[in-house]
Amino acid sequence: MSYPFVPEPASIADHFVQALRRAERNETPYLRWGLTNVFPEALCTAILVLPIVPPMLGKTDGTRNAYNMRRTFITPELRRQFPVCEKLAEALQSPAVARQFEETCNIRAEGTFLRAEYMQDTDGMWLEPHRDIPEKVFSMVIYLCTGPEAAEWGTDIYDDQKRWVGRSSAEFNTAAIFKAGPDTWHGFERRPINGVRRLMEINYVRDWNDRDQLAFPDRPISLTRP
């Protein structure tokens, strides 16, 4: 038998689109969306059993750029190696998903590129308050955390003065979306990670210099062409 079972891209895309349609809008302290039941359960399982060792980072400087070489992006090579990466990437690249992102988030997806990262954060990782660069048309974090403390591993939210105002839920298979802007401060406060904080970050990007981070470097998002 083949394990794990991975749903087909069309099935993943349909499930994902339904989650986007149900997204709850929140405008405090800035515009963002919350989602539940984002991926099919079988897809979550297939991601979690990927044979990719979490990077042992120790203390970090509050940015992810400090360990770029140890990050895991869904690249053409990873798509060739693992069916779950191929099928997930095809689903997120699909016109149906792109159109729904446009409708839900009021963005222009045509001509952007898919950037998807599988993160496995360990104790010592933290992120200083920061804003995403405008080349990211949107940022979506999907929480795949498990364990008794995982609910506290959500993204920290700050106001325009970088004062902490709240934290996204990190309940399993939920997600948060926001768009780059002057006041979209977010981060991850220093706190223990007893286990592995697993999540996916999904972006559609424009004018992206690091082409080796893209799922389909030569295939932009299209609203009509698979």
Q: Is residue 164 part of a domain?
A: yes
Q: Which structural domain, as residue segments, surrounds residue 205?
A: 9-52+65-213
Higher pLDDT, 67 or 222: 222
Q: What is the mean pLDDT of residues 147-161?
A: 94
Q: How far is CA 82 from the centre of its chain?
A: 18
Q: d(Cα 202, Cα 208) in Å, to the nearest integer?
A: 14
**Distance between alpha carbon 79 and the CA centroid of its chain, in Å?**
17
Is position 140 within any domain? yes
pLDDT tens-place string over residues 12-65: 999 999 999 999 999 999 999 999 999 999 999 999 999 999 987 666 666 676
With respect to residue 108, please indicate whether it lies within any of the assigned structural domains. yes
Give the Cα separation of 66 and 74 in Å (integer): 19
- Say whether pLDDT at 212 is over 90: yes
Residue 42: phi and psi, rounded to 5, are -65, -35
pLDDT of residue 42: 98
Overall domain count for the chain: 1
Residue 183 resides in a domain: yes
pLDDT of the residue at 62: 63
Q: Would residue 1 count as lying in a domain?
A: no
As a whole number of angstroms, the distance between CA 93 and CA 89 comes to: 6
Cβ atoms of residues 201 and 143 within 8 Å: no
Q: Give the mean model confidence (pLDDT) for residues 214-220.
A: 98
pLDDT band at 69 (very low <50, low <70, confident <90, very high): low
**Other CB atoms within 10 A of residue 56 CB:** 9
- The answer as to whether 2 is a domain residue is no
What pLDDT is stored for residue 124 in this prediction?
Answer: 87
CATH code of residue 108: 2.60.120.620
C-alpha 77: how far from its chain's center?
Answer: 19
Residue 3 belongs to a domain: no
